[in-house]
Amino acid sequence: MSINIKSVWEELKQRAEACRECEFCNTRAKVVFGEGPIDSKVVIVGEAPGKQENLQGRPFIGPAGDLLTKILQNGGGIKRDTVYITNIVKCWPPPEENEKDKSNGKPKPINISKCIKFLEAQLLLLRPKIIVTMGNIPTQNLLKTTVGITQLRGNWREWRGIKLFPMLHPSFLLRQLNEQKQNELKRETWQDVLSLREQIIELGLDKEMLFNDKQQKNPDTPGDNSRR
Ligand code: SF4
């Protein structure tokens, strides 16, 4: 990233941190802009920060973040710290009264429409080779579709000339109480991360992004039902 782009990136980050365009600014502790090398060739996009992410200002920490690390590292032999990780919505959506999950709410279309400009600008500045969208919200909003993630996952698409790969969100796996269903989703995620690995190799990014001796074991699922 050139010095000029770095300063545009910093300016974008500061704009997000000062943003008050939707009601989430009233309840957030920290804006979660993203984390990882800003010259990364792979960007992972989730939905929105959870409660712990909000407090620490970092994306994908807590149980879903731990599972993401296992999926990448144990499933695909991909080093998590070589990937840039962010969300489509940068501030924590607080839970609503009738929400089952008492830790996190869900971003509404109005929040997404106000916030997506930050993600789009990040992607255009980073110009990664691969965007991995996790779950319905980032996938449907970037691909402009209403088709569900269970149908879209595992199929390579494109966003403005960049390869886009939809995967299941780790919190979706954690929420499954039915063991058979959970095993099925884990199998699909296992296949998907291997497809991501193959693409990384095909693009010649293996030296910087993959472990030398890949640990080929299924990602464990911690016994926790937290959403993010
Ligand atoms: S969620 Fe996005 S649009 Fe809403 S206040 Fe935060 S940065 Fe601004």
Tens digit of each residue's pLDDT (9 = 90 or more) over 60-113: 999 999 999 999 999 999 999 999 999 999 999 999 877 666 788 999 999 999
Specify the pLDDT at position 221. Answer: 42
Domain contains 151 = yes
21 close to ligand 1 (CB < 6 Angstrom): yes
Is position 222 within any domain?
A: no
| Domain membership flag for residue 186 | yes
88-121 as b/e: b if 16+ CB within 10 A: bbbbbbbbeeeeebebbbebeeebbebbbebbeb
The reply to whether 39 falls in a domain is yes
Whether residue 156 is contained in a domain is answered as yes
What domain range includes position 78? 3-209
Q: Is 16 in the pocket of ligand 1 (CB under 6 A)?
A: yes
Task: Specify if 155 maps to a domain.
Answer: yes
Bigger pLDDT: 145 or 221? 145
Number of domains the chain contains: 1
Verify whether ligand 1 is closer than 6 Å to residue 112 (CB atom).
no
Q: What is the pLDDT of residue 4?
A: 86
Question: Residue with the nearest Cα to atom 2 of ligand 1?
Answer: 115
Query: Given the DSSP bridges, would you call strands 157-159 and 42-46 parallel, antiparallel or unpaired?
Result: unpaired
Give a yes or no: residue 219 inside a domain: no
Q: How many CB atoms lie within 10 A of CB 182?
A: 15
